Amino acid sequence: MSRYLQAVKEYEKFGIDVESALNTLAQIPVAIHCWQGDDVLGFEGSSGLSGGIQTTGNYPGRARTPYELMADMELAMKLCPGKKKINVHANYAIMTEENKADRDALKPEHFAPWVEFAKKHGVGIDFNPTYFSHEKVKDGLTLTSPDEDIRKFWIEHGKRCVEISEYFAKETGVPCVMNIWIGDGFKDIPADRLGPRMRYKDSLEQILSVPYDKTLVKPCVESKVFGIGVESYTAGSGEFTLTFAAKNDILPLMDNGHYHPTEVVSDKISALLCYFDEIALHVTRGVRWDSDHVVAFDDETKEIAKEIVRNDATKRVYIALDYFDASINRISAWVIGFRNMQKALLNALLLPNKMLKSLQDEGKFTELLAMQEELKTLPLGDVWKEYLRRENAPDIEWIEEVKKYEKEVLALR
Ligand code: RNT
Ligand code: ZN
- Give pLDDT tens digits for 153-193: 999 999 999 999 999 999 999 999 999 999 999 999 999 99
Of 178, 282, 294, best ligand 1 pocket probe by most atoms within 8 Å of the beta carbon: 282
57 lies in a domain? yes
- Give pLDDT tens digits for 14-24: 999 999 999 99
Instruction: Identify the band that residue 69 occupies on the pLDDT scale cut at 50, 70 and 90.
Output: very high
Nearest ligand to the CA of 282 is 2
Q: Taking residues 64-76, report their average pLDDT.
A: 98
pLDDT at 103: 98
Please check the confidence at residue 47 and state whether its pLDDT lies above 90.
no
pLDDT at 108: 98
Task: Please tell me the distance between residue 8's alpha carbon and the centre of ligand 1 in angstroms.
Answer: 39
- Give pLDDT tens digits for 88-106: 999 999 999 999 999 999 9
Active site residue 397: no
Within 6 A (CB) of ligand 1 lie 35, 40, 53, 89, 128, 181, 222, 224, 255, 282, 290, 322
Portion of the chain with pLDDT greater than 90, in percent: 98
Please check the confidence at residue 1 and state whether its pLDDT lies above 90.
no
Sequence-distant (6+) residues with CB within 8 A of 353 are 306, 309, 310
Please check the confidence at residue 46 and state whether its pLDDT lies above 90.
no
Distance CA 208, CA 137 (A): 21
Please check the confidence at residue 391 and state whether its pLDDT lies above 90.
yes
Out of 35, 181, 384, 398, which one is annotated catalytic? 181
Please check the confidence at residue 107 and state whether its pLDDT lies above 90.
yes
Out of 85, 136, 258, 302, which one is annotated catalytic? 258
Active site residue 247: no
Of 33, 53, 130, best ligand 1 pocket probe by most atoms within 8 Å of the beta carbon: 53
Ligand 1 atom closest to residue 227's alpha carbon, by position in its atom list: 7
Task: Please tell me the distance between residue 198's alpha carbon and the centre of ligand 2 in angstroms.
Answer: 22
The answer to whether the beta carbons of residues 233 and 185 sit under 8 Å apart is yes
Identify the CATH number of the domain in which residue 109 sits. Answer: 3.20.20.150
Out of 166, 222, 307, 386, which one is annotated catalytic? 222
pLDDT at 48: 85
Any alpha helices (H) in 173-274, and if so which ranges? 194-207, 238-248, 265-273
Instruction: Identify the band that residue 60 occupies on the pLDDT scale cut at 50, 70 and 90.
Output: very high
- Give pLDDT tens digits for 206-226: 999 999 999 999 999 999 999
Angle between helices 3-12 and 18-25 (to 10 degrees): 110
Of 349, 132, 102, 369, give the one whose Cα is nearest residue 236: 132
Ligand 1 atom closest to residue 323's alpha carbon, by position in its atom list: 10
383 lies in a domain? no
344 lies in a domain? yes
pLDDT at 79: 98
Active site residue 222: yes
Portion of the chain with pLDDT greater than 70, in percent: 100
363 lies in a domain? no
Q: Taking residues 270-285, report their average pLDDT.
A: 98
- Rounded to whole angstroms, what are the CA distances from 283 to 108, 131, 269, 290? 27, 20, 12, 12
Domain that holds residue 324: 27-349
- Cα angle: 21, vertex 389, 70; to 5 degrees: 100
171 lies in a domain? yes
Number of domains in the chain: 1
pTM: 0.98
Residue 177's SS3 state is strand
